[in-house]
Structure 1
Amino acid sequence: MTQLAPGDAAATRKDDVVVLVVPADGSYLAVLRTATAGLAARLQFTLDEIEDLRIAVDEACAMLLAVAPTGADLTCEFEVTPEALAINVTAPVKDSAALPGGQSFSWQVLTALAGTVSTETTDEQATIRLVKNRTNPT
């Protein structure tokens, strides 16, 4: 991430943000799961919480892969704060495809594993946001 000059009015950068862009192909999801685990460990999540987040990221990616066109990229943005790990997974959508609804099994899995889950869909792309709060922030 580019660091701006301290006096720059536009210097409203986020402190700890990691952005990974991988091909929208299931064979690259291990990279995102590994990054998730590493960042969650940095926040001292428990082993169970880390595994839950890995599974949640995998599920979010699977949902997006189902609506992404061939040859697209999957973007995963991790925002690390002292209180939480927020993960935005984004992919372009083909033919105005829709993500599964809030009552779907996939959605229930995400909510159970990640804590707070939300989506944003436009005609061009879909984003799934996962936010896992730390149980004991320091």
Structure 2
Amino acid sequence: MSDTSHPDGRPDVELRLPADSAYASVLRTTTAGLAARLDFTIDDIEDLRIAVGEANAMVLEHAASGTDLVTGFHLAPGRMTISVSARTEGNPVPDLDSFAWQVLTTLATSADIESRGGHLAIVMTMTSSAFGAGS
């Protein structure tokens, strides 16, 4: 990913959780908290919570047993790029016609899937609707 806040591509915040749907609320809550710190609107925060929940579900569907779900957050004024990833068996390609992908791509400013080398990542960017509204 070329547009990150650190020159080395390192995320500003990284969250590592067991690849288990029981931890989805932790991921959604972390996402909401970070978006609030960036002054995202309430509506944008809710959209982010839903989008990251869908990305989480799509990645978990293909995650290898006993692996971690790793989420990286790249933060910038009015903008957040989130990568939700896990180790997989093979190189799965999530269903781009699925309801989850349709929801995610509708809510996020941009979204992409990276699947290679036994690793699956869904990367999405959200720009706050309030960013630049007062300038």
* TM-score (norm: length of structure 2): 0.85
1:26-105 to 2 correspondences below 5 Å: 26-101=21-96, 103-105=97-99
Q: Percent identity?
A: 43
- Distance in 2, matches of 1:70 and 1:31, equals 20
- Is the 1:40–1:50 contact (alpha carbons within 8 Å) kept by the matching residues of 2? yes
Return 5+ residue gaps in structure 1 as ranges: 1-10
Q: Structure 1, residues 87-114: CA drift from partner, whole Å, max 9, x if none?
A: 001111124332112x322211001112
RMSD over aligned Cα, in angstroms?
Answer: 1.9
Shift of 1:15: 8.8
Structure 1 distance, partners of 2:64, 2:128, is 35
Whether the aligned pair in 2 keeps the contact of 1:92 and 1:124 (CA below 8 Å) is yes
TM-score normalised by L of structure 1: 0.84
Q: Which runs of 5+ in 2 are unaligned?
A: 1-5
Q: What are the superposed Cα offsets for residues 1-38 of structure 1, whole Å, 9 maximum, x if unpaired?
A: xxxxxxxxxx9356971001000001111111111000
Q: Which residue identity lines up with residue 90 of structure 1 in the other structure?
A: S
CA spacing shift, 1:12–1:115, aligned 2, 3 Å: closer
117 and 43 in structure 1: CA distance in 2 versus 1, 3 angstrom threshold: same
Residues paired across the two proteins, number: 127
